[in-house]
Structure 1
């Protein structure tokens, strides 16, 4: 399935900063993606994912989390994580009317995806699904510090895209963690890819878009 991009829209209101890309035809779903800890909405990975998803008729919004809106560089503060989750909720409220048809899927890369998953665990009605790329299961080299407490509270379908060389989780560790999620889960493994997923050469854009289509939209018009 292919659909040329109709337009890119910049959004900056009500605490939401986003770039929205819409397909030329009707939209089959809305995907809201948040960036990783050291990046922003214009990261190569998020733009690569967006291009591939829009080609399949899906509207994509790439958002800047509140901490990134406050400063252009630097990692998030753990104390500000609840505010970042509020930013994801605000993005859902502001951006949902741009693509009201089809499911609403939220997520993103590493930190952004983790905050989206925590927001869904706190508010089960926030979204219809989760798309998590490079879920940061634990800090590199510290497998005893698992970030899994909220996973049993996630009831929506969850698609996880994981680089086989990711230092934040081995494939076996991630599979064990995914089993804790209450909802349906699928893990897509990306060969020869680390935490950044190497979007310039791993084919992760099309791989992810195809998985989103099959996992969330199979049978949808």
Structure 2
């Protein structure tokens, strides 16, 4: 059996960023490819993996919704353990993948197995349900974390997130007018 990882960038001695995909899109989507290419271009090694339900879809299995994030924690832990990594390790992912990483980060950080967390389009709440926050663990997070978020992301806009009580370990990087895929709204120019 081949490696469960899709690797980009330098060797195992470099700082490695281990990324999981979002709920409905695989590890090799244009978004994930662009992120991996961009990080690798900055000298990082990027390893991507798929949760079991997504790998099953790829192999012709039924297209079911993902399990609850809590049920995916063991799979992310397993990916950390399987990855050959000699240098520092950062974990994270797109949307749900970043959420799962954030839920296991402090345990790995306390064991000195990771040095940071990277979340791309964090799902602070389900779209249209801002009262159903997914932030309790982020209030006490000890792991240094960077969350890159579009200012108009339906999973947590800038106006909403600014009122959350997040740990001092969490840094937010806002992409102005960005959506959940961190893309700005398209503007039409050249009328007339």
Number of matched pairs: 179
Give yes or no for contact 2:106–2:143 (8 Å, CA) kept in 1.
no
Higher strand share: 1
Cα pair distance change 1:70/1:121, threshold 3 Å: farther
Pairs within 5 Å for 1:141-220: 141-177=128-164, 179-181=165-167, 183-198=168-183
Deviation string, structure 1 residues 54-111 (Cα, Å, up to 9, x no partner): 1111000011012212333442122xx344211111111111x2x412x210001110
Could you tell me which of 54, 78, 83 is aligned with 1:90?
78
Match of 2:66 in 1: 76
TM-score, normalised relative to structure 2 = 0.83
Pairs within 5 Å for 1:14-25: 17-23=4-10
Give yes or no for contact 1:139–1:168 (8 Å, CA) kept in 2.
yes
Give yes or no for contact 1:164–1:194 (8 Å, CA) kept in 2.
yes
Where structure 2 has 5 or more consecutive residues not aligned to the other structure, the ranges are 187-192
* In 2, Cα distance between equivalents of 1:122 and 1:164: 30
Where structure 1 has 5 or more consecutive residues not aligned to the other structure, the ranges are 1-9, 202-221
TM-score, normalised relative to structure 1 = 0.73
Runs ≥4 residues deviating over 4 A: none
Deviation string, structure 1 residues 15-73 (Cα, Å, up to 9, x no partner): xx2201123x7854100011110011101111111111111110000110122123334
Give yes or no for contact 2:145–2:171 (8 Å, CA) kept in 1.
yes
Match of 1:106 in 2: 91
Query: Over alpha carbons, which structure has the higher Rg?
Result: 2
* In 2, Cα distance between equivalents of 1:55 and 1:27: 16
- Could you say what secondary structure the match of 1:41 adopts? coil
Higher helix share: 1
Give yes or no for contact 1:110–1:136 (8 Å, CA) kept in 2.
yes
Residue 38 of structure 1 pairs with residue 8 of structure 2: no
- Could you say what secondary structure the match of 2:163 adopts? helix
* In 1, Cα distance between equivalents of 2:90 and 2:35: 13
Deviation (angstroms), 1:164 = 1.4
